[in-house]
Amino acid sequence: MAETRYTLSLPAEVYHQLRQVSEERGVSIKDVVRQCLKVGLVAVKVDGDPDKELLIRERQPGSNGSNTYKEIQLQFIW
């Protein structure tokens, strides 16, 4: 697949977060940005469909060994 170059200016804080993730996972910043863009494109597609929603489910271990889940719905503000 052919690649297209694109120059992207980022706020310093976003760049530092990308760099931190790349170091933690042992991959390049370029790979982290590509993965974030892929996830973002899915999110934008879901956001455009009123019959779909994008959720993050966080497991919360219970005191008796069972798990409960907290769901957070992502919404875009354009």
Supply the pTM of this predicted model.
0.74
Question: Does some domain include residue 4?
Answer: no
- Domain assignment of residue 1, yes or no: no
The answer to whether residue 28 is domain-embedded is yes
CA atoms of 67 and 61, how far apart (whole Å): 4
Is 47 inside any structural domain?
A: yes
Kindly tell me if the per-residue pLDDT of 78 is higher than 80: no
- Return d(Cα 18, Cα 28) in angstroms, integer: 9
Q: pLDDT of 6-54, one tens digit each? A: 999 999 999 999 999 999 999 999 999 999 999 999 888 888 888 998 8
Count other Cβ atoms within 10 Å, centred on residue 17: 14
Domain that holds residue 68: 12-74
| 17 domain residue, yes or no | yes
